[in-house]
Structure 1
Amino acid sequence: MCGFPDPAQNKDLKDKVIFNRVHIVGDKMSGEWTERNLFTGFQRMNTSGIRRCEIKMERQLAAGTGCNAGKVKYSHTEGIPDSITMSARTENEVLFDNVTVKNVTKWQTTC
């Protein structure tokens, strides 16, 4: 994937992973494992910010309610995006709309 660091250089001083290959549309929501659906994101972005949004969508799917990730966009700065904006709605409700998840190393509360 373009812009993803060499695996040998993707660990911090405590041997923890720094970056993940982040899905724009999560694999549990039928997102493909292809370059057009992946970007380089900090591990914390993926496990805190984006994950909170995905959990809401997964619950809807598990309940048999269709869920559509409406808008997803990100802007590039020096090879990796600085954020992603996510929206999701079911037939009857908006789960979240235009939530921005920053591509940072800190834990985030979103969705």
Structure 2
Amino acid sequence: MLAYHVSGDGLEIVTLEALERRRGVGTALVSAACELASSLGLQRVWLVTTNDNLDALRFYQRRGFRLVGLAPDAVAAARSVKPSIPFVGDYGIPILDELTLELSL
């Protein structure tokens, strides 16, 4: 499943979930989102993730996405709205920052 939001010149990937990893499902969903964005005349596909999400960083960069933004300590502000965000994430990495990745079309 891929959830997205279209705004301005881009399509934001909000959520990407593949029940089985390394089967091409995520790649197919991202490709479909890029095709949709292109058909709508959009200039970019982008997403925000956290600094601990190494699997997502690897996945998107291997598909041509570039790191275009860093929001240091942004997760602290997000916790004020959603206190259930954990303090430690994948691989024991403290969750602190938000990273923006973008693919220009």
Whose helix proportion is higher, 1 or 2? 2
TM-score bracket for this pair, using the shorter chain length: under 0.3
After TM superposition, the score normalised by the length of structure 1 is 0.23
Higher relative contact order (CA 8 A, sep 6+): 2
After TM superposition, the score normalised by the length of structure 2 is 0.24
